[in-house]
Structures are given as C-alpha cells and as structure tokens.
Amino acid sequence: MKLLNRIKFSIYIFSLIIISCTSTKTNNSTVKTSAIVTPKKPNILVILADDLGYSDVGFNGSKDIQTPNLDVLAKNGTIFTSAYVSHPFCGPSRTSLMTGRYAHKIGAQFNLPPNSETIGEGISLKETFISKVLQNSGYQTGIMGKWHLGAVQKYHPNQRGFNDFYGFLGGGHSYFPEDYRAKYEAQKKNGKKVIFEYLLPLEHNGKEVRETEYITDALSRESARFITDASKKNDPFFLYVSYNAPHTPLEAKEEDLKLFQHIKDKKRQTYAGMVYALDRGVGKIVETLKTTGEYENTLIIFLSDNGGKTTSGATNFPLKEGKGSAYEGGYRVPMFFHWPNIVPSGKTFEHPVTAIDFYPTFAHLADAKIPDDKELDGKNIWNDFLAGKNSHEDDNIFVLRHRNGYSDVGIRKNQWKAVKAYRQKWKLFNIVDDLGEKNDLSKQHPQILNKLIEDGEFWSRTHIQPKWWHDKKTGIDWNNDQMPHFDKTFKLP
C-alpha cells in the first residue's frame, strides 16, 4: 500500500514539474505558468481543539506549556495570526464548520442543552454538511470525538456524511473511563432515566464501546486506526479529529501533570497536562500518516473551536478576554495549515480567514459538488491563500453572542472592528494596530463606526429565532425579554 501511495505521489510530483515547465505565449513574450498546482484529491485532516487558548501553544508563544508536535507542523506550514471561528462557544462554532453558515441563520445560535436527546433537536437536516459533500465525491469520512450537533438518530454523524464515528454525541465528556463508568453504572442501577452526557459510554457507529484509555489518548488511537484503514483504499479521506480537550472537566493524567510542576496554579497545571496529551495525540496521528504513506498528500488544519476559558486555566494573550466574548479572545483562535510542498513552509498569514471558509475551500480541494441550493457564508480561500492575498478585503466578519436580555457583537472589516459588549456603548478599534482592543476610536471615526453598525443590522435581518437554548430558563427569559430586539443592539450612537 505504501508503494502505491509513493507511486501516486511520484506521478503527482512529475505532473507538477511538467506543468511548472510548461510555457505559454502571451503578446510575443514567453511566460512561465505558476508552479502552484494542487493535486485533485488530497486527504483533508481537521484537528479541532476545544476551548484552547490563543497563546497556549508553543507556535503562538507559550512559554509554560509545551506542544512539540504541533510546533513542528506549524513551523513546516503556515501559521494564521488572524483566524476566526464564527462563534465564541462550542455548538454554533461547530455548526459553522459543518454547514459553512452562521449558526444564527439556521436557529443554532445556542448550544444544544446537555442530553439533547431529551428535546430531540439537532442541526437542520436542510443543511448538507461538508462531510456529506466530500463523502458523495468519493471521500472516506471519519469523525473521532465530540459531536454536539444533535444526539438523536436522524442527527447522528453517520447520518450526516461520516462513515466512521468514534466518540460521544454531547458537548463534552469526562476523561477517565474508570471514574465516569463507575458513576454511570451507579446511576443506571438506581434507575436514573437521564444520565448526564459527560458520563455516558462512548460509541463506535452507534454501538456502545467499553473504552479503557484516557479519552484524549483514545481519540488519538482511533484517529490513527481510521488513517490506517483509509490508507488501504485508493480513495482519499476526510478526517475530523474533534478532541474535547482541553475543555472542562479539568482532568489530566499523572504522567502529564508531572511535566508541569513548574506551573503553580493548579487549574493551569491540569489544563497544561491536557494540552500536552492532545499534542502527544497529534504526534501519533502524524506518525501514522508517515508510516501509511499518506503524509505528503494530506492537508492538516489545526485550530480551536473558540477562545480559551480564562477561568479554567487558559490564556489568550495578547487578545482581550476569552471564551464567550465578542472581543478577539473569544473567537480569534490558534491555527495553522500544513501540507508538504503545497502550503508555504515557515510562513505566517496575517489576513483574516474564518472557519466558515472551510466548506467551500474543502469542496474546491476535493473537486466536490456542492448542492445547487446550498447557501454558504464563507469563501473558497485556497488560491488567495497560496498567493498570499486577502480573500476578505472589504468583507465583514461577524460575531454575535446573545446574553440574558441583550447581545454582544463584533464586526470586523479590514483594519476596523466595532464591538458592543455588556450593554455598553459601541466601540471602535484599529484591530491591526491594537490587537488588545484597548484604544477606543469611536469618537475619532464616527462614520466608520456607524457604517459597521449598519452592516451589522443588515446582517441581523438574516437571522431566525433560536430553535433551542442551552437550558429552559434561558428560553423563558428570551421570550419574556422579547429577544433579540436588534433595534436596540444596532441603534446608531
């Protein structure tokens, strides 16, 4: 099998040389065509961390947490300094990854409640997931880890384009099987009907499994297993490694904790151990790509689903605030692309990109057909990215997080960012010069601010009412407060 992949890759390299040497005549001058050529069907591997802080990886400057495997990939790939996800917390952010849309437009702007099987809801079946698009174009598709997009059968990963699912359907999970299994079995024995989803047994394609390893290690093991299986077939693969680490509960292995004795804060020490375990898994995944001969033809994308939770050991320096916030720390995330000989090595990319762009970008790389009626909010950034260009010049990149009775909003366009947070007045920042959002320029540039607010109001007209809330009280409050009352949020100063 390795030999076959080497032959495939050799053919690709050979065609690259041929194409790069091809000359075309233009106005009597001979011009070499670009050497940047993308093979038609690469493997696509998305590694998503959960609540990982912007500066909690070595490649973004962490001094106290080591991430050697991620750092090697980042160094040999391109680091994005201005990568956004669509939402500052889990469910809506992941919805955008799979649908290529802002979650507000499909009623998914809140997390599904824990044990969402009790309300029977999930991401609208009208939305064709990117996994389905890739599956339909011949990809072998897998997700290992956290789902969080619907726990009943019709919303199950196997129904949404994934051939292979190993993990859990809810928004998180406890990490030590011996601990959570004991609690689960005790509650089951006592006749408890709904057992908290963090304690449920893991599953493989709908079948309960008896996991024995620390969950992060288990998800790494299953990712390696998927790659090994996939490498035996000719079709490329799409693998979504959806780690729940380092999301709470803060639970690290003793061996990993020992490495971080220098961190005195217990929460951060545990968090560091969890990040380290994730990094170990990335090492295992990369090793598997190499031994199966898939490494050279795999685009690896690493990012976090939202900002780090600063009350649970994370740091997002130099960004302001963290998970849940409309300031940068909430939704600007650590990210890199890696693909030998294709993605520029040792570079940083400073133009803004958003995870909403993945859907059309992946479809482009896979030469996959997107359904004609599929609505998308992002762009295929691939060619611009390779050329070092900004795909989002003059575009608005939005974030909107509903709180109890009001909404926080961030609107970025080029160097400008308008922010409304905590019922305070709108502020304006030059986000290129002032990454920490310290210097409010709303008085100096009122027209720029007003235009951004107007753009935000226009965008908000595309939203629909939430289909669920993360708990009952929030839904009741929402109705009592007649939310979202965007007239108040986007009122010009």
The reply on whether position 56 binds Ca ion by CB under 5 A is no
For residues 247 and 338, which CB has a smaller minimum distance to Ca ion in the complex?
A: 247
Q: Which of 46, 47, 51, 397 binds Ca ion (CB under 5 A)?
A: 51
For residues 134 and 399, which CB has a smaller minimum distance to Ca ion in the complex?
A: 399
Least distance from Ca ion to the Cβ atom of residue 167, Å = 15
Nearest residue to 143 via CA among 291, 244, 265: 244
Least distance from Ca ion to the Cβ atom of residue 244, Å = 9
The reply on whether position 217 binds Ca ion by CB under 5 A is no
For residues 4 to 43, the per-residue mask of contacts with Ca ion, x marking binding by CB under 5 A and - elsewhere, is ----------------------------------------
Going from the C-alpha of 430 to that of each of 35, 76, 241, the distances in angstroms are 36, 31, 35
Least distance from Ca ion to the Cβ atom of residue 296, Å = 31
Residues 164-203 that bind Ca ion (CB under 5 A): none
Least distance from Ca ion to the Cβ atom of residue 471, Å = 17
For residues 51 and 217, which CB has a smaller minimum distance to Ca ion in the complex?
A: 51
Stretch that binds Ca ion, among 119-127, 299-307, 414-422, 439-447 (CB under 5 A): 299-307
Least distance from Ca ion to the Cβ atom of residue 313, Å = 14
For residues 92 and 410, which CB has a smaller minimum distance to Ca ion in the complex?
A: 92
Nearest residue to 251 via CA among 217, 204, 208: 217
Dihedral angle of Cα 326, 330, 334, 335, to the nearest 10 degrees: -50
Least distance from Ca ion to the Cβ atom of residue 49, Å = 8
For residues 200 and 303, which CB has a smaller minimum distance to Ca ion in the complex?
A: 303
Stretch that binds Ca ion, among 88-96, 157-165, 345-353, 386-394 (CB under 5 A): 88-96
Least distance from Ca ion to the Cβ atom of residue 449, Å = 30
For residues 231 and 242, which CB has a smaller minimum distance to Ca ion in the complex?
A: 242
Question: Length of the chain in residues, anyone?
Answer: 493
Whole-number Å distance between alpha carbons of 486 and 483: 8
Least distance from Ca ion to the Cβ atom of residue 143, Å = 16
Asked whether the beta carbons of 282 and 249 are under 8 A apart, the reply is no
The reply on whether position 95 binds Ca ion by CB under 5 A is no
Size of the site for Ca ion (CB under 5 A): 5
The reply on whether position 355 binds Ca ion by CB under 5 A is no
Least distance from Ca ion to the Cβ atom of residue 51, Å = 4
Q: Which two tokens stand for residue 455?
A: 């753009």
For residues 49 and 133, which CB has a smaller minimum distance to Ca ion in the complex?
A: 49
Going from the C-alpha of 151 to that of each of 6, 122, 133, 194, 461, the distances in angstroms are 40, 7, 21, 13, 29
Whole-number Å distance between alpha carbons of 149 and 48: 15
Q: Which of 56, 294, 305, 408 binds Ca ion (CB under 5 A)?
A: 305
Stretch that binds Ca ion, among 78-86, 161-169, 183-191, 306-314 (CB under 5 A): 306-314
Whole-number Å distance between alpha carbons of 60 and 463: 34
The reply on whether position 50 binds Ca ion by CB under 5 A is yes
Which element (helix H / strand E) includes 447? helix 446-460
Instruction: Report the first-to-last Cα separation within the chain, whole angstroms.
Output: 64
Stretch that binds Ca ion, among 73-81, 84-92, 124-132, 481-489 (CB under 5 A): 84-92
User: What is the bridge-based pairing of β-strands 140-146 and 164-168?
Assistant: parallel
Whole-number Å distance between alpha carbons of 257 and 272: 8
Least distance from Ca ion to the Cβ atom of residue 50, Å = 4
DSSP 150: B
For residues 51 and 127, which CB has a smaller minimum distance to Ca ion in the complex?
A: 51
Stretch that binds Ca ion, among 39-47, 51-59, 72-80, 451-459 (CB under 5 A): 51-59
Q: Residue 295, Cβ neighbours under 10 Å: how many?
A: 20
Q: Residue 258, Cβ neighbours under 10 Å: how many?
A: 11
Least distance from Ca ion to the Cβ atom of residue 97, Å = 11
Nearest residue to 316 via CA among 128, 53, 95, 92: 53
Asked whether the beta carbons of 214 and 175 are under 8 A apart, the reply is yes
Q: Which two tokens stand for residue 477?
A: 């409050």
Residues 96-155 that bind Ca ion (CB under 5 A): none
Asked whether the beta carbons of 337 and 77 are under 8 A apart, the reply is yes
Asked whether the beta carbons of 330 and 321 are under 8 A apart, the reply is yes
Whole-number Å distance between alpha carbons of 174 and 490: 40
Least distance from Ca ion to the Cβ atom of residue 162, Å = 20
Q: Which of 43, 67, 163, 306 binds Ca ion (CB under 5 A)?
A: 306
> Coil, strand, or helix at residue 339?
coil
The amino acid at residue 57 is: V
Stretch that binds Ca ion, among 203-211, 237-245, 301-309, 376-384 (CB under 5 A): 301-309
The reply on whether position 90 binds Ca ion by CB under 5 A is yes
For residues 89 and 468, which CB has a smaller minimum distance to Ca ion in the complex?
A: 89
Whole-number Å distance between alpha carbons of 119 and 153: 13
User: What is the bridge-based pairing of β-strands 203-204 and 43-49?
Assistant: unpaired
Stretch that binds Ca ion, among 83-91, 105-113, 142-150, 359-367 (CB under 5 A): 83-91
Q: Which residue is nearest to Ca ion (CB)?
A: 90
> Coil, strand, or helix at residue 402?
strand
Q: Provide the binding-site residues for Ca ion, judged by CB under 5 A.
A: 50-51, 90, 305-306
